[in-house]
Structure 1
Amino acid sequence: MKKSIAVHAILFDKFLFTADQATTFAQKEDFSVDEKREDDNIIAYLQRDKADFKINAFGEDMDFRVVTMAEGVAVLVGELEEGVTKTHEFSAKVTWNYTKVDEPKRVVTGPVLVPDSVDLQGDFEFPEDIQKAAFKFMEDARNIGEMHIKFGNIGIPVESWIAREPFFVDKGSEFKIFPSGTWMMSVKITDDKVWEKVRNGELTGFSIGFRGTREEA
């Protein structure tokens, strides 16, 4: 597998994930970095040691080295396996809408990945790969973000399951049959601004972010 250089920027007051682009962005957005550490501890660690640092993105562990620190920004350089990144370019649209919105509990439920269903980048996933992704997410990430840019303190995954049988959803104006192997999730929205976007229809479904390899069919 080929390797490509990835550059990530961490702002000292907040965290910013810049995907695998060799650049930094001016805007400040939240990004959950290694949930085993408190944010302040991460900042102190970077300021003090400027040493190797492990960052967790989409459930995939990657080791990076701090190469420069200027104006409150630590630039981390590391190697990634070359692959496809599902990024914020397609975050304005979702393939599947929420199947249920429980307003009193502030819980949204819907499909995350549907087997053999073509996504907005023209890709599709097999059931066995979807199961691996679902397990990996719950084991290592459990990170809920908004629009592939803002991460952390948005919501909590309260349910995650793989449908063992086909099922249908009838919402009156929308009827859809989902195949077995569909990854379903329920998330309790904890951020008030994000919840308001759900209520007014600005946010309508889940959009997964991950890296993977693309194979010709």
Structure 2
Amino acid sequence: MTATLDRAMTPAALDSTARLSLAPSGVRPGRLDGAWWPRSRDLLLELPVLAADIDERWGRITRITVNPARWPVIPRRIPVTGHTVHAGWFTTEQDEHTIAVFSYTPLRLNLLVVPPETDAVDAARLMSEAADPANTRTASDLLAAERGRGAAEPESPSDFLPSAATPSGGAGEVDRRADVARSRAASWPVLA
């Protein structure tokens, strides 16, 4: 099954600030260098926003890698302001809840990807924990602990794609998901 993304209806189309939390510079972080809370699972929409923020702090992003378990579409090249970022994926070598960001400096950041549908309180807690230099837990461990607190995670990426057609859902299901995406977008706070 192929997921189709309607970029006009995704929450990322409504806001252009990255929700990013990085470990303090000069401090040797634990397993993670911080966290990123994207508004959708559309790398073509989300990565330019992330790149703009990281480019200013750490140098131009040249490459990223993700685990395809959480991203429905992984383009090979993603245009960002002034350059192109090359994307790759690893299925077993990379935690499914991380994104590895590489810059030309050379620098590598391992970021927890907070699921887009996470509520603001849970996301803030996850982002703080991931950016804490004392953190020694993996991204999957942090999310498992959060689920243990009662936060839910969708079964698959298509659960939160507003226009993804599902075998069991008809046009009404797609419309319902689009309405849910719009209402979530209106209530999301901006964390910088």
TM-score of the alignment, normalized to the shorter chain, above 0.5: no
TM-score normalised by the chain length of structure 2: 0.28
Which protein has the bigger strand share?
1
Which has the higher Rg, Structure 1 or Structure 2?
A: 1
Which protein has the bigger helix share?
2
User: Larger RCO: Structure 1 or Structure 2 (Cα < 8 Å, ≥ 6 residues apart)?
Assistant: 2
TM-score normalised by the chain length of structure 1: 0.25
